[in-house]
């Protein structure tokens, strides 16, 4: 569990750093640099010869969705939202994981529908006064697109790992970053006019932190840590980064929020996630 705690703290600072230093930079460029740095970090561990072509294609595709598209949507949302709002809206990811898993298993669990509605209600409580701006709604939808991509990739990777696995994560993890970087590069070149490579020292240092530590080391530590705990602990740790990120954004980055509304709505969202994690398969 120590590895999961370390990773949660690393990720908690990412939201505020992106908002303060990178929210004005093209989202696809940030995603590409971040994933390219993570790929460079894992090149020494990469064993492409141990990956048959079908496996390599699947891992590449997972990386395009789970890392590439996810980061493009996620980073773009900072143009419309505060860092603590982005962090809070990521709590829907476990609900998408459960939904995608149910669809692939061809089953229906009504509790997932009710927990999703409860989470939406909690979010509305938090941001009710700001929905009329349009920016908040746009940011919310971007984060949900990011959540859906991240959830789909997790489900896909888990199912791939469960079938006749004869490979180690560290030997193939670079395929994921390669796919993610490719997806971000495609998004970047679809809008070349938005790309500006003239970044100051602050944004460059933040990109190094995000690429090498948060994305590179963070995802790998999370992958190892998740294999050493039970499902209940993993579900709790998946949601730990949200209150940590909200707290870091409010305390360290001095963002403003209605704390009473945040506490009330956040409690509803966390209750939804708790109920979602305890639901049995039927």
Give residue-wise pLDDT tens across range 92-147.
777 787 778 778 777 766 665 666 666 666 666 665 555 556 788 899 899 999 99
- 281 pLDDT band, cuts 50/70/90, is very low
- 160 pLDDT band, cuts 50/70/90, is confident
Question: What is the domain count for the chain?
Answer: 1
Q: Are 177 and 45 in contact (CB under 8 A)?
A: no
Which of 23, 20, 41 has the alpha carbon at shortest distance from 219? 41
pTM: 0.83
* Structural domain harbouring 126: 2-278
Does 222 score more than 60 pLDDT?
yes
Mean of the per-residue pLDDT values of the chain: 80
CA–chain centroid gap for 78, Å, is 14
């Amino acid at each position: 569990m120590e590895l999961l705690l370390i990773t949660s703290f690393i990720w908690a600072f990412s939201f505020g750093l992106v908002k303060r230093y990178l929210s004005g930079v093209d989202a696809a460029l940030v995603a590409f640099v971040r994933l390219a740095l993570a790929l460079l970090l894992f090149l020494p561990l990469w064993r492409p010869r141990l990956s048959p072509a079908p496996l390599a294609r699947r891992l590449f595709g997972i990386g395009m969705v789970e890392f590439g598209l996810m980061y493009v949507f996620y980073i773009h949302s900072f143009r419309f939202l505060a860092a603590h709002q982005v962090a809070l809206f990521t709590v829907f990811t476990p609900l998408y994981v459960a939904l995608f898993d149910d669809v692939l298993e061809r089953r229906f669990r009504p509790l997932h529908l009710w927990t999703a509605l409860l989470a939406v209600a909690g979010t509305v409580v938090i941001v009710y006064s700001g929905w009329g701006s349009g920016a908040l709604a746009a940011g919310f939808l971007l984060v949900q697109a990011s959540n859906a991509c991240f959830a789909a990739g997790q489900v896909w990777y888990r199912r791939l790992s469960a079938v006749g696995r004869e490979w180690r994560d560290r030997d193939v993890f670079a395929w994921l970053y390669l796919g993610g970087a490719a997806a971000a590069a495609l998004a970047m070149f679809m809008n070349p006019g938005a790309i500006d490579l003239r970044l100051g020292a602050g944004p460059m240092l933040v990109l190094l932190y995000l690429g090498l530590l948060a994305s590179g080391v963070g995802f790998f530590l999370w992958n190892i840590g998740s294999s050493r705990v039970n499902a209940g602990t993993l579900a709790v740790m998946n949601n730990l980064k949200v209150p940590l990120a909200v707290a870091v954004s409010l305390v360290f980055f001095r963002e403003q929020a209605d704390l009473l509304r945040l506490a009330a709505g956040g409690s509803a969202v966390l209750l939804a996630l708790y109920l979602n994690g305890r639901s049995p398969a039927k």
